[in-house]
């Protein structure tokens, strides 16, 4: 289940270090190397002012206008927040990219520095717009150029908030760019970061072959818009030793799972079996969705956990507040609904542990207005009340997961942190997160970017979870890759999939990885792992990795 909004993007590319697949064996001293990442940020604020409409605010417009039309002079304003590059990181360069929205571009467009950063897109107009500074760069684009870029390396040299103005002196041909409110092509600031890393020399032995062997996708040349193609880092433990312990946390390795057949009429158990046959691995986690008065797990779901040849556990998603509000659930208005489910679980599924997600992706349903019953704090109270009520009712085998959307607009909201229900009732911290495989497209990036998109005041999801809630296992409760290219190119998804294993190895707190597979989501995105042969071959390489050999 996916919803999409806007704001900030994050690590897009990293230069490959070495190559090959297999089991690494230490054979020498550590060596220093340098990696290059491109950190992409969306505008924290963007709008424009109009001299002929001095009191008017354009902060909600999907278009950013700059230039002259008759006596009207319009100036576009952009503000970006750049996070610290991290330990050992050095900012080496930066550029701002704007996407043409409509009409022809003027022959000359100037980007200027703006010292003031206190303005906001909801309040700026021609009466209060900040003073313009020196020109940073001038672009002379073709009239129908798709994008216009400006080198801002002279200004962006480290973390901070940066403001820019877009102007043009060309008469009667104002530039119209897409703003952050547009659905695609939002303004972007790409910051190039280099850092020293230490690697251990290795010798490789062949890894387990995927179910359908196929040549690895060609590695594209590293660029600011190419996902990194790092060497696969194999599991460092004996896969035969990995098993689940308390709260279904694996003693080593990572739980593998899927929610297959989303937004289709195919029965979910049938869809999952097809997914498993194509990928070559049993989905240890079987993710399904329920709401309101539905009783679960269903007989079909229980049957999937009783297959000795394909051992699985359930991840059951429940919108307990369906038809009412979170505040009402927290007050006890739906205790009869909770108690009824508890009775059913104890009678039908009392002996096996399972994951229970309470109202996944809550951000999209938050109404921050006091008294709405749907504030972030109401969600936290609903989650706490439901979890504690189920436990009091004797449901002892539920492992509770809070699952966020990982969307920049929400992550930067003032209320976002209020949603966390508390370490005492949260067993796993989950995230639903998706990438676009279209080079240069919105939400284009590698696995690290998928897990660690930054935004104003937010350090990235994995960074937040592991810093603020140390020791809590992280569940990637939904993940997927789609390709928004006008013509789907097989190597695009394959390139993103190729980054999963090496970057997953650098995120040891991720203990579960659950793919959401659908031919068409709410936005029309195809998130199937087999929409092209190249994508399937690359995904099979992920599935074949021994780190997912965790015994239930």
SS (H, E, C) 87-110: CCEEEEEEEEEEEECCCCCCCCEE
Residues 105 and 155 in one domain: yes
From the list 452, 413, 414, 459, the residue with the least C-alpha distance to 433 is: 452
pLDDT of residue 235: 42
Per the structure block, which two tokens stand in for 513? 């990885």
The verdict on residue 238 lying in a domain is: no
Range(s) of the domain holding residue 142: 37-196
Look at the chain and report how many structural domains it folds into: 2
Q: How far apart are CA 264 and CA 242, in angstroms?
A: 34
How far, CA to CA in Å, does 250 sit from each of 242, 244, 283, 509? 6, 4, 15, 11
Write down the residue that tokens 């691995």 correspond to.
281
Residue 435 in domain = yes
300 and 164 share a domain?
A: no
What's the chain's Rg over C-alpha atoms? 25
Instruction: Read off the CATH number of the domain in which 96 is found.
Output: 2.60.120
**Residue 44, pLDDT score:** 86
Is the domain of 253 the same as that of 299?
Answer: yes
In a domain, 229, yes or no: no
182/288 same-domain check: no
Q: Quick check: is 14 in a domain?
A: no
Same domain, 165 and 211: no
In a domain? residue 220? no
Last residue of a domain, one of 161, 196, 231: 196
If asked whether residues 310 and 338 sit together in one domain, one would say yes
237 within a domain of the structure (yes/no): no
Residue 373 CB burial class (10 angstroms; 0-12, 13-18, ≥19): middle
Cut 0.75: pTM above it: no
pLDDT tens, position by position, 168-214: 999 999 999 999 888 778 899 988 888 665 444 433 333 333 333 33
Q: Do 211 and 188 fall within a single domain? A: no
Beta bridge partners of 150: 96
Centre a 10 Å sphere on the Cβ of residue 426 and count the other Cβ atoms it contains: 20
11 assigned to some structural domain: no
Q: What is the set of active-site residues?
A: 361, 478
Going from the C-alpha of 404 to that of each of 22, 271, 330, 498, the distances in angstroms are 34, 25, 19, 25
CB atoms within 10 A of CB 393: 17
- 31 belongs to a structural domain: no
pLDDT of residue 286: 98
The secondary structure element, H or E, covering residue 543 is helix 533-543
What does the DSSP 8-state code read for residue 131?
Answer: P
The DSSP code sequence of 427-489 is: SEEEEEEEEE-STTSTTB--HHHHH---BTTB--HHHHHHHHSTTPPEEEEEEEEE--SSS--
Domain termination site, one of 164, 196, 228: 196
- Tell me: do 184 and 270 sit in the same domain: no
Closest by alpha carbon to 193, among 47, 37, 88, 76? 37
Given a contact cutoff of 8 angstroms between Cβ atoms, the answer to whether 374 and 417 are in contact is no
Tokens of 211: 């179910």
CATH number, position 372: 3.20.20.80
CB proximity list for 405: less than 8 A, separation 6 or greater: 3, 361, 362, 363, 364, 431, 432, 433
- pLDDT reported for residue 532: 96
How confident is the model at residue 195, as a pLDDT? 67
Least Cα distance to 272 among 225, 304, 235, 295 occurs for 304
**Residues 180, 262: one domain?**
no
Residues 249, 188 share a domain: no
Distance CA 171, CA 71 (A): 9
> Which of 533, 374, 403 shows the shortest CA–CA distance to 478?
403
Nearest CA to 406 among 440, 367, 448?
448
Q: Are residues 178 and 321 in the same domain?
A: no
Residue 159's pLDDT is what?
86
Between the alpha carbon of residue 327 and those of residues 111, 176, 334, 384, 425, the distances in Å are: 48, 44, 10, 11, 17
Q: What is the pLDDT of residues 141-161, one digit of tens each?
A: 999 999 999 999 999 998 889
512: helix, strand or coil: strand
Answer yes or no: do 337 and 406 share one domain.
yes
Q: Look up residue 514 and give its two tokens.
A: 């659950």
Structure confidence at residue 89 (pLDDT): 75
pLDDT at 42: 82
pLDDT confidence of residue 137 = 95
435, β-bridge pairs: 481
Per-residue pLDDT of the chain (552 residues; tens, 9 = 90+): 443 333 334 444 433 333 332 333 333 444 455 667 777 778 889 999 999 999 999 998 989 999 999 999 999 999 998 877 666 678 899 999 999 999 999 999 999 999 999 999 989 999 999 999 999 999 999 999 999 999 999 999 988 899 999 999 999 999 999 998 887 788 999 888 886 654 444 333 333 333 333 333 333 333 333 454 443 334 444 556 899 999 999 999 999 999 999 999 999 999 999 999 999 999 999 999 999 999 999 999 999 999 999 999 999 999 999 999 999 999 999 999 999 999 999 999 999 999 999 999 999 999 999 999 999 999 999 999 999 999 999 999 999 999 999 999 999 999 999 999 999 999 999 999 999 999 999 999 999 999 999 999 999 999 999 999 998 999 999 999 999 999 999 999 999 999 999 999 999 999 999 999 999 988 899 999 999 999 999 999 999 999 999 999
Q: Which residues contact 290 (CB under 8 A, 6 or more apart)?
A: 296, 316, 317, 318, 319
């Amino acid at each position: 289940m996916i919803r999409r909004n806007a704001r900030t993007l994050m690590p897009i590319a990293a230069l490959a270090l070495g190559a090959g697949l297999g089991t690494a064996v230490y054979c020498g001293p550590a060596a220093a190397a340098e990696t290059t990442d491109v950190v992409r940020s969306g505008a924290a604020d963007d709008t424009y002012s109009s001299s002929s409409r001095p009191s008017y605010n354009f902060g909600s417009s999907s278009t950013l206008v700059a230039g002259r039309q008759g006596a009207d002079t319009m100036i576009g304003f952009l503000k970006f927040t750049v996070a610290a590059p991290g330990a050992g990181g050095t900012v080496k360069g930066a550029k701002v990219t704007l996407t043409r929205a409509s009409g022809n571009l003027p022959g000359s467009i100037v980007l200027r520095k703006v010292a003031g950063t206190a303005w906001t897109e909801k309040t700026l107009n021609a009466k209060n717009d900040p003073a313009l500074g020196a020109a940073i760069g001038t672009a002379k684009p073709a009239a129908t150029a798709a994008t216009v870029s400006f080198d801002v390396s002279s200004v962006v040299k480290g973390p901070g908030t940066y403001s820019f103005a877009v102007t043009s002196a060309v008469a009667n041909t104002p530039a119209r760019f897409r703003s952050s409110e547009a659905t695609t092509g939002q303004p972007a600031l790409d910051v190039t970061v280099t850092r020293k890393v230490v690697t251990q020399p290795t010798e490789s032995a062949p890894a387990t072959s995927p179910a359908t062997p196929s040549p690895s996708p060609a590695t594209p040349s590293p660029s600011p818009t190419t996902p990194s193609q790092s060497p696969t880092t194999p599991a460092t433990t004996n896969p035969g030793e990995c098993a689940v312990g308390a709260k279904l946390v694996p003693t080593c390795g990572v739980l593998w799972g899927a929610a297959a057949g989303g937004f289709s009429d195919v029965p979910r158990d049938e869809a999952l079996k097809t997914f498993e046959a194509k990928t070559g691995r049993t989905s240890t986690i079987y993710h399904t969705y329920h709401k309101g008065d539905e009783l679960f797990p269903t007989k079909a779901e229980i049957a999937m956990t009783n297959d000795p040849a394909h051992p699985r556990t359930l991840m059951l998603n429940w919108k307990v507040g369906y038809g009412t509000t979170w505040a009402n659930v927290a007050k006890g208005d739906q205790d009869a609904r909770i108690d009824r489910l508890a009775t059913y679980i104890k009678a039908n599924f009392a002996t096996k542990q399972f994951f229970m997600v309470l109202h996944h992706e809550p951000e999209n349903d938050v109404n921050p207005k006091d008294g709405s019953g749907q504030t972030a704090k109401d969600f936290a109270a609903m989650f706490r009340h439901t979890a504690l009520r189920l436990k009091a009712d004797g449901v002892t085998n539920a492992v509770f997961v809070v699952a966020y959307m990982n969307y920049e607009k929400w992550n930067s909201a003032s209320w976002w942190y209020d949603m966390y229900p508390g370490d005492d009732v949260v067993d796993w911290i989950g995230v639903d997160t998706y990438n676009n495989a279209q080079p240069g497209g919105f939400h284009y990036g590698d696995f690290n970017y998928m897990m660690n998109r930054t935004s104003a005041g937010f350090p990235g999801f994995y960074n937040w979870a592991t810093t603020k809630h140390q020791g809590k296992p992280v569940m990637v409760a939904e993940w997927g890759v789609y390709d928004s290219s006008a013509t789907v190119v097989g190597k695009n998804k394959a390139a993103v999939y190729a980054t999963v294993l090496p970057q997953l190895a650098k995120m040891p707190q991720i203990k579960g990885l659950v793919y959401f597979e659908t031919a068409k989501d709410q936005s029309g995105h195809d998130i199937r792992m087999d929409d092209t042969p190249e994508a399937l071959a690359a995904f099979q390489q992920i599935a074949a990795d021994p780190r997912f050999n965790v015994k239930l």
